[in-house]
Amino acid sequence: MRAQFDMALDAMHATFAAVPALREFSPLPAGSRFVERLPKAVPVVPQFERCTLTPVPEADALFRAARALAPHVQWYQGYTEEKAGRDFARNAGYFELLGVDGHFNAPGLSAFLLYLGPNLHYRRHWHEAEELYYIIAGEAYFQVDGEETPSLLRPGDSRFHASFQPHQTMTGPQGILCLVLWRGAGLNGPLEMETAPGA
Ligand SMILES: [Fe+2]
């Protein structure tokens, strides 16, 4: 199993080497340390394992590594079902491959693999850490407060969110897998989400 984690880390290094936007956001910390963590599942994992997404070539190895690791990592959703709603709880999940709480411990940068199922609205949310989304596979509309129209992001596209800048995402008919990077203050800080209509 450790070998599959190492393959995933190698794959992330390869994606960083191939994608300037990732390196410009932050270099990958050298010398990260593997931490034994018990697997933790969320409901979306089987959906991710059987999804038919096609990854961008620069992240093909990372996509395959993320799928191979899916039964072995600690998945999270970031919110309670009461807060985020049933649809989100069934169709969203992420794991921290590298970072302060990651399977590889490293300071200064956190790297998450985030899967969102088809036609899912990830409502307005915000957090202290600065963020870069990189679309590995699938398509989704992204919108920050103040933008009149959302932007469609495709595999290979990236998107920056400033500290505490509210942002939201609506996935397309195939869902998405993203590499999400956090830097700066608040690396293990909370996620805040607006209350669901009617909640
Ligand atoms: Fe975010």
Q: Residue 87 belongs to what H/E stretch?
A: helix 86-91
How many domains does the structure of the chain reveal?
1
Confirm whether 83 is domain-assigned: yes
Ligand 1 (single-atom ion) residues, CB below 5 Å: 131
Confirm whether 20 is domain-assigned: yes
Confirm whether 146 is domain-assigned: yes
Q: What is the pLDDT of residue 197?
A: 64
CATH of the domain at 109: 2.60.120.10
Confirm whether 195 is domain-assigned: no
Residue pLDDT, tens place only, 164-178: 999 999 999 999 999
| Ligand 1 center–CA 90 separation, angstroms | 19
The answer to whether 109 and 26 have CB atoms below 8 angstroms apart is: yes
Residue pLDDT, tens place only, 10-60: 999 999 999 999 999 999 998 899 999 999 999 999 999 999 999 999 999
Q: What is the pLDDT of residue 199?
A: 55
Confirm whether 190 is domain-assigned: no
| Ligand 1 center–CA 45 separation, angstroms | 20
Residue 58 structural domain: 2-27+40-185
Is this prediction's pTM over 0.75?
A: yes
- Residue 192: band (very low, low, confident or very high) from pLDDT cuts 50, 70, 90: very high
